[in-house]
A and B are shown apart, each in its own frame.
Chain A
Amino acid sequence: MSMDIILVQTVVNGLMVGMIYVLMAIGFTMVFGIMRIVNFAHGEFYMAGAFLFAILYGSNGLPFSISVLLAIGATALLGLLMERIVFRKFRGNELNGMIASVGVALILQNSALLMWGSSARTVPPVVSGVLSVGGIVFPWSRLVVIIGAIVAVVSLNLLIGHTRIGRAMRAVAQDAEIAQVQGIRVDVIFPVAFVLGVSLAGFAGVLMAPVLSVSPFIGLAPTLKAFVIVVIGGLGSVPGAVAGGLLIGLIESFAGTFVSASLSEILQFLVVIAVVLLRPQGLLGRKEREA
């Protein structure tokens, strides 16, 4: 392969991986932005989505679209359950909410372990083959993920930025008491936001299941990545999550291609520190007024 093809390939691949991260990060950032909970169980919903899809589509052979809908629906239901039982009690209490989410992660992960066993499963590819343009290879399976991610990002951004319910969510995020006096039913907004956030994670899991493998332990890594991305992108900012996800994806891709895999991770963290230092409010976050 010639150098410029490798370069293009590296960029393209970085964008692909980046979009995968973006998908995780936007759900995470939503839950944080609105409920002020750093949800370390976020990845477990990703795991649940992936597992349900693997079982429905992979093992039971249900049609693709039905499997997708059922898997996401069930993840959403699980999210609703968790919100009602656990997370609603921790709204706005960042520290306790975070630790409680660790507890939930433990519960969900080990329940999956009990129910589905520890070994990794694979899902037959939904689409196969590669799209090859001038020597550059795009595996179709990943293009599907990218398209899915883009759709999710765009619609979420529209929802939050420009709709009545989106505005209500933001208002609740900033001052729940005063939001109530605007006629906003806070007790509805919180679960809606939470379920939306974890459904996105479930959706990510569904999309990724055919590309990667599924086991009860796949949740943590994307959660940590999402955490990193969300913070460098600016908490609660969807465009920030996109920028952060793409940035991390590109770093990973370039460092992996041109330096070495183990350095790539260190490099990512150094970049994170640099970004946070130079723009403490995050790449696209906004500063609050002092005094």
Chain B
Amino acid sequence: MLDVRGISVAYGPLTAVRNLSLSVADGAIVSLIGSNGAGKTTTMKAIIGLKPVSGGEIYFDGERIDGASAPRRVGRGIALSPEGRRVFPQMSVLDNLLVGSYSQRDKAHQRKTLDQIYGYFPRLVERRSQMAGSLSGGEQQMVAIGRALMARPRLLLLDEPSLGLAPIIVDEIARIIVEINRDIGMSIILVEQNAKLALNLCNEAYVLETGAVALSGKGKDLLASDYVRRAYLGI
């Protein structure tokens, strides 16, 4: 479904991602792990189109998309729940979610997805009309994920969804990720610091180090690898 071929991304003189390739099969969960500054977020931004690539190609459904604008890629079925939440602080929770369905004009569909999201995150129901900026960190994370889901994407990019969430919610999110993937067959790229969680959830995983893929394989295999255990699981 998604095929990233040898992309490089630079911030001015600094190359954050170099010659990186990865692919996501239909209905798969792919995890990206790596230390701070490894280039995970940058990769996500390159896929969604917030950051232009300086080399390489990106294919989605067999079509080349690295020249398309972000809104166009969203229209094709990619959505991002960004790192650091980035909710619209002065809009209500409901409006945040509705903005998420901007490219999804069908009202009935919209309602259905909304109910689904309220089902995943009951907390958001009671906060519906509160300004998103005054929510607690965890609540904002729920809004950010919900907002991405509202676009009913076929490929969901989750950048550190467990960041700042209570363990009980992290479990919840993990469950929801699996559920979404199973119910709708949505493909997911998951960037996580919580490597154990990420590797447990995914089919395929990539380990990024200083902007390049250092290791890749089945999640379960990596979980068992000595190197990963030492470097990313702290064991």
Contact = CB atoms under 8 A, between A and B. Distances in A.
A134 interface: no
Contacts of A164: 98, 102, 105
A178 B91 contact: no
B184 interface: no
B86 interface: yes
Interface residues of B, number: 28
A174 B102 contact: no
Interface in A175-201: 175, 177-186
B99 A168 contact: yes
A265 to B, nearest CB: 33
B89 A289 contact: yes
Contacts of B75: 183
A98 to B, nearest CB: 21
A182 to B, nearest CB: 5
Interface stretch (B16-24, B66-74, B120-128, B216-224): B66-74
Contact of A181 (B79, B89, B90, B133): B79
Contacts of B99: 167-168, 170-171, 179, 182, 184
A186 B91 CA distance: 18
Given A168-B102, A180-B70, A174 B91 contact: yes
A288 interface: yes
A286 interface: yes
A184 B71 contact: yes
A22 B134 CA distance: 30
Interface of A: 164, 167-168, 170-171, 174-175, 177-186, 286, 288-289
Interface of B: 48-50, 69-71, 74-75, 79-80, 82, 86, 88-91, 95, 98-100, 102-103, 105, 131, 133-134, 147, 151
Given A167-B95, A180-B49, A288-B133, 6 more contacts: A168-B99, A170-B90, A178-B88, A183-B103, A184-B99, A286-B90
Task: List the 3 shortest-distance A-B pairs measured between CB atoms, nearest first.
Answer: A183-B103, A183-B74, A289-B134
